[in-house]
A and B are shown apart, each in its own frame.
Chain A
Amino acid sequence: EAGVTQFPSHSVIEKGQTVTLRCDPISGHDNLYWYRRVMGKEIKFLLHFVKESKQDESGMPNNRFLAERTGGTYSTLKVQPAELEDSGVYFCASSQTGTDYYGYTFGSGTRLTVV
């Protein structure tokens, strides 16, 4: 089966610009998560979708971040306008609901650099 796909793999943008990250979960996985790792720090939860609904968005840092999952398939995470502190690696993960609910499959991440 195909894994979780994220693109772009790298993005370098200037402060004030907009960037949109995309995540394609494993087909059939209702749960989709976004995490972020700022350089050298821990991996922090951003939000959780169940199908197209936001189950938990308590980790979203501020209103410059907007996540969507139209139709319950792929998800996008938009940062507008980007700030220097938004630099980091953004991970997406998906999981099934059921016996393997707590076994996330991660994508390879998008490395975002804001200059």
Chain B
Amino acid sequence: AQSVSQHNHHVILSEAASLELGCNYSYGGTVNLFWYVQYPGQHLQLLLKYFSGDPLVKGIKGFEAEFIKSKFSFNLRKPSVQWSDTAEYFCAVNGGDKVIFGPGTSLSVIP
């Protein structure tokens, strides 16, 4: 069965700090990988996705993620966070008809 784990439950950073959120998945076949974000009071939005090709994927708002197949990982990065990046971030994987989400990482950015 597919599963997704995220390394941190809650991350607190100061503005301009670099961000890396860890994500590992468990699935034996070909997968599609996603990061979703939920800003306070808003609905889930797709941040970026990986289907195939270049394992370094660039998304919206300066985020990127790297797919490392050998490590079953899809970590999210941003070189310099802003207060507006405060949100909850969900890693997700799809190896069939449905998407499975990780437990989420809450990011708080302090001005």
Q: A residues touching B (Cβ–Cβ < 8 Å)?
A: 33, 35, 41-45, 48, 55-56, 91, 93, 102-109
Q: Which residues of A contact B104 (CB under 8 A)?
A: 42-43
The A contact surface, by secondary structure, is strand
Q: Which residues of B contact A55 (CB under 8 A)?
A: 97
Smallest Cβ-Cβ distance to A47: which chain B residue: B98
B101 within 8 A of A: yes
Q: Top 9 closest A-B pairs, CB basis?
A: A108-B43, A43-B101, A106-B44, A42-B103, A102-B32, A45-B98, A106-B43, A102-B94, A48-B98
CA distance A100 to B23 in the complex (A): 23
Binds A, one of B11-19, B45-53, B67-75, B76-84: B45-53
Interface size band for B: 20 to 34
Give min CB distance, A55 to chain B, whole Å: 6
Asked whether A56 and B97 contact (CB < 8 A) given A103-B49, A104-B46, the answer is yes
- B98 near A109 with CB under 8 A, answer no
B25 within 8 A of A: no
- A106 near B49 with CB under 8 A, answer no
Q: Which residues of B contact A102 (CB under 8 A)?
A: 32, 34, 49, 51, 94, 99
Identify which of A42, A93, A108 gathers the most chain B CB atoms within 10 Å of its CB: A42
Residues 33 to 74 of chain B near chain A (Cβ within 8 Å): 34, 36, 42-46, 49, 51
